[in-house]
Copies of this chain bind each other. A is one copy, B any other.
Amino acid sequence: MMDYPLLLRTLLLRAAKYFSKKEIVSIFPGEVFRYTYADYFKRTCRLANAVTSLGIKRGDHVASLALNSHRHLELYFGIPCMGAALHTVNFRLPLHHLAYVLNHAEDKVIFIEEDLLFFIEAIKDQLKTIDHFVIMSQSKEMPATSLKPAYLYDEWIEQFPPEFDFPDDLSEWDAALICYTSATTGDPKGVVYTNRGIMLHTLAAGFTLPASENDCLLHIVPMFHANAWGAPFFGVGQGCKQILPGREVLNMEVICKIIAQEKVTFTCGVPTIWLMLHQYLEKGGWHDFSSLKSVFSAGSACPRFLMEELNEKYGFPITQAYGMTETSPLALAAMPKSYMSDWPKEKLYDVKSSAGLLVPGLEMKIVNEKGHEVQMNGADWGEIFLRGPWIAKEYYREPEQSGRFFAGGWLHTGDVGTIDEEGYVRLVDRTKDLVKSGGEWISSVDLENAIMAHPKVSEAAVIAIPHPKWQERPLGCVVVKPGETVSGEELKEFLKDKVKATWWIPDHFVFIEQIPKTSVGKFSKKDLREMYASGKIKVPEG
């Protein structure tokens, strides 16, 4: 067979040629911008020419600090296809981390959404490698900025020709994108995605997921978060209609309107988004989900009650998947098998609410504390190990951390799970979030899901706190729904028949305003632990 490199270029050229009439839609407050793949391709060529004019060449790194927009989608292909790598920066990082990742990746140019300009203004003196600032805005006016030299994206790229000879002699091992994990401890760690890895991830996603050219994708996952879970590559690869909701992504009223008006069929997001959606719907929020075919939840375990409610009450066809920044990210998807179609609903939700089944192309083992692979019995716990062509082999320029997380040629995910006889994985916890009480493990995730099923509870997170006799005990941190009250005793009573053993039930519950979230919207147990340590969360005596 030909030694033809796996390059994103191949997908871009095909889409431009054969899906030139298909649409890309970018949502701005009070404005809907639409163009075709033909126009998308021309602007992506202009962008590649523009970036080349700055002296950016193969192997260089270019940063984006941007919302989900058509411009970000132009960067997603324009930068890798001309041979550089796009570093998608999480704008929810604390400022010192923002400066850290831009310096660590040695980015030479940064593309900044106008709304996010103040972040870069605030750290500009700390930036060591960035020579050019490109501001992305719907306005035709350059906003006031102290950044120099600065260009207004649309106006700037318009000066360059709409053709570009995307090179076919890159190596498939060349970096295409870079993403840093949101650090729970220490500095953020970078993952470099190769052209090969993204191409294989894209094909495998298409092999696995029920989506095709007929689908209309809504990009809810931020484009800085693990390649937007690969959806932009899948979309261009298939020639799908794509919707980029910009800063409206957290506005559930607008999201529901977009789904109905644009006839969205496919979307993905973290459970936090689906909790927001559920709250909007519970308040009677308008929606029409008739066009939706598949929704995937990933990033952290989606509470089962939430999946059941969204599916059964609102016809929102949500299923779980599993991945992480280090896995490009798709690794597992919880699609039921053909012979499960006549299973009772309850049993089918066991499947759909699991983390899923291994995607073709990868290898997985679940390894217990003794280093043995666990049985496929749905009961034994172990850490999930993964390997495959779209699994990271290291953290970028972090040999020490890499040695630890990638020992033996497998990614040690830090996620603890079980695997049942059908192969479906169920997440028990993060290794570091497990509660060890009296020498036995308690799953904080199971407890959280059980607590969040209480009708008066909006969100719940469980952390381990020290205990003189049992070493550790779980502490329930609970956010009550507006206008409701609930007591710890009520919750204990409620949990009695819903947890694995009565000794799993937290001795104490604290009621807080909100669960702190990480920069990608997951519950931040690190922050909860700090709140507990600093006395901001006080456990009632007794």
> Which residues of chain B are within 8 angstroms of A337 by Cβ–Cβ distance?
19, 22, 213, 239
> Considering the complex, which residues of chain A in the window 220-257 have a beta carbon less than 8 Å from any beta carbon of chain B?
237-239, 241
> Which residues of chain B are within 8 angstroms of A213 by Cβ–Cβ distance?
335, 337-338
Binding site for B on A (CB under 8 A): 1-4, 6, 10-11, 13-14, 17-19, 21-22, 192-194, 196-197, 199-200, 202-204, 206-208, 210, 212-214, 237-239, 241, 328, 335, 337-339, 357-358, 360-363, 376, 387-393, 409, 422-423
Contact A388 B203 (CB under 8 A): no
Q: Contact check: which of B1, B10, B22 meets A194 at CB < 8 Å?
A: B1
> Which residues of chain B are within 8 angstroms of A192 by Cβ–Cβ distance?
1
Residue pairs across A and B with Cβ atoms less than 8 A apart, 8 shown, are: A1-B193, A1-B197, A1-B393, A14-B358, A22-B337, A206-B207, A206-B208, A238-B360
Question: In whole angstroms, what is the CA distance A1 to B386 when docked?
Answer: 12
> Which residues of chain B are within 8 angstroms of A390 by Cβ–Cβ distance?
1
Contact A2 B363 (CB under 8 A): no
Which residue of chain B lies nearest to A206 when distances are taken between CB atoms in the complex?
A: B207
Contact B21 A339 (CB under 8 A): yes
Which residue of chain B lies nearest to A11 when distances are taken between CB atoms in the complex?
A: B360
Q: Contact check: which of B6, B11, B203, B423 meets A17 at CB < 8 Å?
A: B423
Besides the contacts A1-B393, A17-B423, what 6 more A-B pairs have beta carbons closer than 8 Å? Answer: A1-B194, A1-B389, A1-B391, A2-B387, A4-B387, A18-B357
Q: A14-B360, A339-B21 are in contact. Are A2 and B388 (CB under 8 A)?
A: yes
A328 to chain B, nearest CB (A): 8
Q: A19-B337, A338-B214, A423-B18 are in contact. Are A207 and B391 (CB under 8 A)?
A: no
Q: Contact check: which of B237, B357, B393 meets A2 at CB < 8 Å?
A: B393
Q: A19-B337, A194-B1 are in contact. Are A10 and B363 (CB under 8 A)?
A: yes
Which residue of chain B lies nearest to A198 when distances are taken between CB atoms in the complex?
A: B1
CB-CB nearest 6 A-B residue pairs: A206-B207, A1-B197, A18-B423, A203-B203, A2-B393, A214-B338
> Which residues of chain B are within 8 angstroms of A335 by Cβ–Cβ distance?
213
Question: In whole angstroms, what is the CA distance A45 to B393 when docked?
Answer: 30
Contact B360 A4 (CB under 8 A): no
> Which residues of chain B are within 8 angstroms of A389 by Cβ–Cβ distance?
1-2, 4, 6
Q: Contact check: which of B10, B339, B392, B423 meets A1 at CB < 8 Å?
A: B392
Question: In whole angstroms, what is the CA distance A17 to B335 when docked?
Answer: 16
Contact B363 A13 (CB under 8 A): yes
Question: In whole angstroms, what is the CA distance A1 to B452 when docked?
Answer: 37
Question: In whole angstroms, what is the CA distance A18 to B197 when docked?
Answer: 24
A233 to chain B, nearest CB (A): 10
Q: Contact check: which of B199, B361, B376, B393 meets A3 at CB < 8 Å?
A: B393
Q: A203-B206, A206-B207 are in contact. Are A196 and B1 (CB under 8 A)?
A: yes
Which among A2, A239, A338, A376 has the highest number of chain B CB atoms within 10 Å?
A2
Question: In whole angstroms, what is the CA distance A194 to B2 when docked?
Answer: 10
Question: In whole angstroms, what is the CA distance A21 to B3 when docked?
Answer: 37
A289 to chain B, nearest CB (A): 19
> Which residues of chain B are within 8 angstroms of A200 by Cβ–Cβ distance?
6, 203
Q: A197-B1, A207-B207, A337-B19 are in contact. Are A237 and B360 (CB under 8 A)?
A: yes
Question: In whole angstroms, what is the CA distance A203 to B197 when docked?
Answer: 13
Question: In whole angstroms, what is the CA distance A205 to B354 when docked?
Answer: 27
Which residue of chain B lies nearest to A208 when distances are taken between CB atoms in the complex?
A: B206
Q: Contact check: which of B6, B202, B210, B357 meets A212 at CB < 8 Å?
A: B210
Which residue of chain B lies nearest to A204 when distances are taken between CB atoms in the complex?
A: B203
Contact B206 A18 (CB under 8 A): no
> Which residues of chain B are within 8 angstroms of A1 by Cβ–Cβ distance?
192-194, 196-197, 328, 389-393
Question: In whole angstroms, what is the CA distance A21 to B363 when docked?
Answer: 20
Contact A422 B18 (CB under 8 A): yes
A285 to chain B, nearest CB (A): 29
Which among A192, A197, A338, A361 has the highest number of chain B CB atoms within 10 Å?
A338
Contact A360 B392 (CB under 8 A): no
Which residue of chain B lies nearest to A359 when distances are taken between CB atoms in the complex?
A: B14
Q: Contact check: which of B10, B208, B376 meets A360 at CB < 8 Å?
A: B10
Question: In whole angstroms, what is the CA distance A391 to B409 when docked?
Answer: 31
Question: In whole angstroms, what is the CA distance A204 to B361 when docked?
Answer: 12
A21 to chain B, nearest CB (A): 7
Contact B2 A392 (CB under 8 A): yes
Question: In whole angstroms, what is the CA distance A210 to B212 when docked?
Answer: 8
A24 to chain B, nearest CB (A): 14
> Which residues of chain B are within 8 angstroms of A202 by Cβ–Cβ distance?
207
Contact A203 B423 (CB under 8 A): no
> Which residues of chain B are within 8 angstroms of A376 by Cβ–Cβ distance?
17
Q: A2-B387, A393-B2 are in contact. Are A361 and B10 (CB under 8 A)?
A: yes
> Which residues of chain B are within 8 angstroms of A206 by Cβ–Cβ distance?
203, 206-208, 360
Contact B388 A4 (CB under 8 A): yes
A5 to chain B, nearest CB (A): 8
A170 to chain B, nearest CB (A): 14
